[in-house]
Amino acid sequence: MPIMDEYEYLESAPDYAQETARMIEWSANCEWSKSPYALFLDLIGVSEQRFGENLTTTVPNLGYVELDKLANALIEYAKRPNDLKEWLDGFEQIALDEINS
């Protein structure tokens, strides 16, 4: 079975993670600590568990597009938190594998 890269994983997101995938893709255009994705991980409480600290030291100044993407991802999380966390675990593992290869 071929291994997916980050972008293939995001493009094949299940229905319950479509908006989160779009937010992650958009965040690739931002400085990491000021990205909607970093703030999202802080807000749902996984950054401290995974990385030992919050990823953002201050609330980043997000534009209306970033806020919209963040809000939509948070709505998905509110509806299916466990499923979304599991899907994010898969994304993070692929990202780490790409860094380490």
For 7-39, the pLDDT digits (tens) are 999 999 999 999 999 999 999 988 877 889 999
- Residue 33 has what DSSP assignment? G
Identify residue 12 by its one-letter amino acid code. Answer: S
Helices 36-43 and 18-27: crossing angle in degrees, nearest 10, is: 130
Look at residue 1 and tell me whether its pLDDT is greater than 70: no
Identify whether 90 is part of a domain: yes
Residue 56 pLDDT? 78
Domain that holds residue 18: 6-100
pLDDT band, very low/low/confident/very high, at 96 (cuts 50, 70, 90): confident
Identify whether 1 is part of a domain: no
Highest mean pLDDT among 17-26, 36-45, 55-64: 17-26
Question: Among 77, 76, 62, 69, which residue's Cα sits nearest to residue 30?
Answer: 62
Entry pTM: 0.88
Question: How many domains, in total, are found in the chain?
Answer: 1
